[in-house]
Amino acid sequence: MSEIKPSLLDFTQKELMLLIKPPFRVKQIFGWLYHQYAEDFDDMKNIPKALKDELSDKFVVNPLTIINKEESIDGTIKYLLQMQDGKTMEAVWLKMKDTQFDESGEVIQEAKYTICVSTQVGCKVGCTFCLTAKGGFTRDLTAGEIVAQVVTLKRDNDHKHNRKINIVYMGMGEPLDNLSNLAKAIEIFKEDNGLCISAKRQTVSTSGLSNKIDQLGAMDLGVHIAISLHAVDDKLRTELIPMNKAHNINSIIEAVKRFPIDTRKRVMFEYLVIKNKNDDIASAKKLVKLLTGIKAKVNLIFFNPYPGTDYQRPTRANMVAFQEYLVNHGLLCTIRDSKGIDISAACGQLKEKELGKEK
């Protein structure tokens, strides 16, 4: 294994200015990193060779390598990415809306994309429905490894730096378990001379670490928050998410009420629907009561089965009935149609498939 070095993507522009002189070189390098998606120092044509040699002794540019990817008929692309230490994790390129054309064939609106980003190799939470949990927890990702996922996927899809994109921290790992690196990545994404992805386009999804929801709120980063709720009583939630014993539903709801929310926005509650577990109208009634007083939006998600799981995908009829009950009782509710269902859709599935090849 080659020497592991920090990546230039680990640093804010201000931090790089403390490491690299003169300051105008940092602006040039930032342009190569985030506008041209440079992968190594040789790509940086207007940087003096002596400076490139000096930097290459201490840093790498992009710490990630694409080792596998699968593309769905719906435009979803799942990537398996390898880091300098040989560890792997996943990121997903999601097409949310197709390009729109006028009658003459001119583009009137570009296609819209979201990148689903991982924050850890593995996960500590241990959700019983999640394939990522099967491999246990290995380590946190650095801020640069989080940032590099977006840079790598934008480069691979020829997505220009100034085209808008959304980021959801919903990949492998619990984002709030890696809060310091997450917060730094959020700030790097926001850099005006970089990718310029505003906090309003970044959503942190958490399984419900109530104390760290408070910590994230105190940072006032301006990001949206999504709560992976999945159950309406502590008994079922503890079965699905064992750490619910330490962070029960009530503690999560109270933390959400304290979280600083843009008055124009809503708190997203993710509800993974599993057949014969939480897809009945009785659960829908409890959910309405639970979210009373919160400006909430509920996102119903079909469970994506994977080999070895005992959980089953719900019927669309049950999903629609659940949604209609929530809407009729005043909750904004959508059904997230599964993307990439024809490929390794479940989080961690592509990684498991790659590991299977090695055995």
Dihedral sign from CA coordinates of 195, 201, 206, 208:
positive
Shared domain check, 130 and 19: no
Asked if 39 is an active-site residue, the reply is no
Q: What is the CATH number of the domain that holds 23?
A: 1.10.150.530
- Active-site entry in 70, 270, 333, 347: 347
Shared domain check, 128 and 22: no
- Active-site entry in 70, 90, 145, 270: 90
83-101: pLDDT as tens digits: 999 999 999 999 998 888 8
Shared domain check, 114 and 37: no
Residue 3 within any structural domain of the chain:
no
Which pLDDT score is estimated for 346?
56
CA distance 93 to 74: 11
- Name the one residue in this structure whose structure tokens are 């080659």: 2
Shared domain check, 120 and 87: yes
DSSP letters spanning 121-167: EE-SS--TT-SGGGG-EEEEPPHHHHHHHHHHHHHHTT--TTS--EE
Domain boundary among 58, 80, 95: 58
What value does the mean pLDDT of the chain take?
Answer: 92
Domain count, the chain: 2
Shared domain check, 316 and 197: yes
Percent of the chain at pLDDT > 70 equals 93
Shared domain check, 53 and 72: no
Shared domain check, 323 and 189: yes
Asked if 90 is an active-site residue, the reply is yes
Residue 184 within any structural domain of the chain:
yes
Residue 78 within any structural domain of the chain:
yes
Q: Which of the two residues, 248 and 309, has the higher pLDDT score?
A: 248
Residues annotated within a binding site for [4Fe-4S] cluster: 123, 127, 130
Residue 218: give the domain boundaries: 65-358
Residues annotated within a binding site for S-adenosyl-L-methionine: 173-174, 205, 228-230, 304
Residue 1 within any structural domain of the chain:
no
Shared domain check, 141 and 13: no
Say what the pTM is: 0.92
Shared domain check, 78 and 51: no
Q: No. of H helices and E strands in the chain?
A: 11, 14
Of 337, 346, 355, 305, the residue nearest 74 (C-alpha): 337
Which pLDDT score is estimated for 46?
95
Residue 2 within any structural domain of the chain:
no
Residue 259 CB-density burial (10 A; 0-12 exposed, 13-18 middle, 19+ buried) = middle
Q: List all residues 6 or more positions away from 18 whose beta carbon is below 8 Å from its beta carbon.
A: none
Shared domain check, 52 and 36: yes
Shared domain check, 76 and 37: no
- Mean pLDDT value of segment 266-270: 95
Shared domain check, 88 and 147: yes
Which pLDDT score is estimated for 287?
98
Q: Are 347 and 78 in contact (CB under 8 A)?
A: no
Q: Are 142 and 118 in contact (CB under 8 A)?
A: no
Domain boundary among 23, 42, 58: 58
Which pLDDT score is estimated for 338?
66
Strands 332-336 and 77-82: unpaired
Residues annotated within a binding site: 123, 127, 130, 173-174, 205, 228-230, 304
Reported as type and span, the H/E element at residue 332 is: strand 332-336
Ranges 113-117, 209-213, 306-310, 340-344: which has the least confidence? 340-344
User: In Å, what is the CA distance from 182 to each residue of 89, 118, 185, 294?
Assistant: 16, 10, 5, 26
Q: What is the CATH number of the domain that holds 227?
A: 3.20.20.70
Q: Are 66 and 156 in contact (CB under 8 A)?
A: yes
